[in-house]
């Protein structure tokens, strides 16, 4: 059975309580898939579970801090045990951080690397062996256009998203090298109206930052405004993800207007010149 046939299969989604994760969970449930839901926001996560169960498919929700290996391992084990397997894995949980690169504190780096990068690393490590063993399935890693270009004022975020793209490309090559039928997609959206700009609400107390500079606060305000003004909805992005899984398509670029900035980055690289500001192209 090809991955174009999703009904009756199992999807696991991190960051499923809101935004892109919630939209992907609903989209896969709409395809008749059973869904395992993970997030640190258990209140909203339980609401997502109720909506999905009302669609006539099975689901469970679980408190998971994706920065912690044990949490992701337990999520993978419960998914297989409770839902009978796993076929689509969406390593989606993410947070955002704005400000000049030199102002990011050690706590800032630990927080954003823990969620955005280690969360994907743990998801790949915990779930992919199951997919390889059955020689079927698909991994979707949520990166960003910030994994393909490097906008100013988002240094720490850019680092994590470039790393997710690199990990996803390497995972694709590793699977192809061994002749595995497991597919990989990397999702690189631009601004989508979600709660990503309000990530601080879920930041662990021990990793909270001190007082932010005026420049950092200004960058944060710009990010919130840009996210709120996003023209493509989370639902539309989720539909693109489902299509990519069915088509076994690697790059999922949901915002065509950004391709000029991506092209410019590689032109600068190949022509040996300093990078242009992608926000001014």
CATH number at residue 101: 3.40.50.720
Note the pLDDT of residue 234. Answer: 93
Strands 138-142, 183-187: pairing is: parallel
pLDDT for the residue 202: 74
26, 111, 157, 191: which is the annotated catalytic residue? 157
For residue 5, tell me if it sits in a domain.
Answer: no
Q: DSSP letter string over 83-125?
A: HS---EEEE-------B-GGG--HHHHHHHIIIIIIHHHHHHH
Q: Is residue 133 part of a domain?
A: yes
Active site residue 157: yes
What residues are paired with 90 via a beta bridge?
13, 140
Name the helix (H) or strand (E) containing 159.
Answer: helix 155-177
Question: Taking the C-alpha atoms of 84, 85, 90 and 93 in order, what is their torsion angle to the nearest 10 degrees?
Answer: 60
pLDDT at 193: 58
* pLDDT tens, per residue, the chain with 281 residues: 568 899 999 999 999 999 999 999 999 999 999 999 999 999 999 999 999 999 999 999 999 999 999 999 999 999 999 999 999 999 999 999 999 999 999 999 999 999 999 999 999 999 999 999 999 999 999 999 999 999 999 999 999 999 999 999 999 999 999 999 999 999 999 876 566 556 577 777 776 776 677 766 665 666 555 555 556 899 999 999 999 999 999 999 999 999 999 999 999 999 999 999 998 98
The residue range of the domain holding 190 is 10-256
Amino acid 173: pLDDT: 98
pTM: 0.90
Whether residue 89 lies inside any domain: the answer is: yes
In a domain, 25, yes or no: yes
Residue 268 in domain: no
Pairwise CA distance, residues 95 & 134, whole Å: 32
Query: How much is the pLDDT for 194?
Result: 63
Structure-block tokens of residue 97: 């951080």
Residue 134 located in a structural domain? yes
Q: Are residues 49 and 37 in contact, defined by beta-carbon separation less than 8 angstroms?
A: yes
- Sign of torsion, CA 8 14 15 19? negative
Let me know if residue 35 belongs to a domain: yes
In a domain, 270, yes or no: no
Per the structure, how many domains does the chain have? 1
């Amino acid at each position: 059975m090809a991955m174009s046939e999703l009904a009756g299969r199992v999807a696991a989604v991190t960051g499923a309580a809101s935004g892109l994760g919630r939209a992907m969970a609903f989209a896969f449930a709409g395809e008749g898939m059973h869904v395992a839901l993970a997030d640190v926001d258990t209140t909203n996560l339980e609401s997502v579970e109720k909506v999905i169960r009302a669609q006539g498919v099975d689901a469970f929700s679980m408190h998971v801090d994706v920065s912690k290996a044990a949490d992701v391992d337990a999520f993978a084990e419960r998914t297989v045990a409770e839902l009978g397997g796993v076929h689509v894995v969406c390593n989606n949980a993410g947070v955002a951080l704005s400000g000049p690169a030199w102002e990011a504190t050690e706590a800032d780096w630990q927080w954003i690397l823990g969620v955005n990068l280690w969360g994907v690393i743990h998801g790949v490590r915990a779930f992919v062996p199951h997919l390889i063993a059955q020689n079927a399935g698909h991994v979707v890693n949520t990166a960003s256009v910030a994994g393909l270009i490097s906008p100013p004022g988002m240094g720490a975020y850019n680092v994590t998203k470039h790393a997710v793209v690199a990990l996803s490309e390497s995972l694709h090559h590793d699977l192809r090298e061994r002749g595995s039928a497991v597919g990989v997609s990397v999702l690189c959206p631009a601004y989508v109206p979600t709660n990503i700009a309000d990530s601080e609400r879920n930041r662990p107390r021990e990793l909270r930052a001190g007082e932010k500079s005026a420049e950092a606060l200004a960058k944060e305000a710009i990010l919130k405004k840009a996210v709120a003004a996003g023209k493509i909805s989370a639902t539309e992005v989720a539909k693109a993800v489902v299509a990519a899984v069915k088509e076994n398509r690697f790059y999922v670029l949901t915002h065509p207007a950004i391709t000029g900035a991506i092209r410019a980055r590689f032109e600068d690289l190949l022509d040996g010149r300093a990078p242009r500001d992608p926000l001014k192209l």
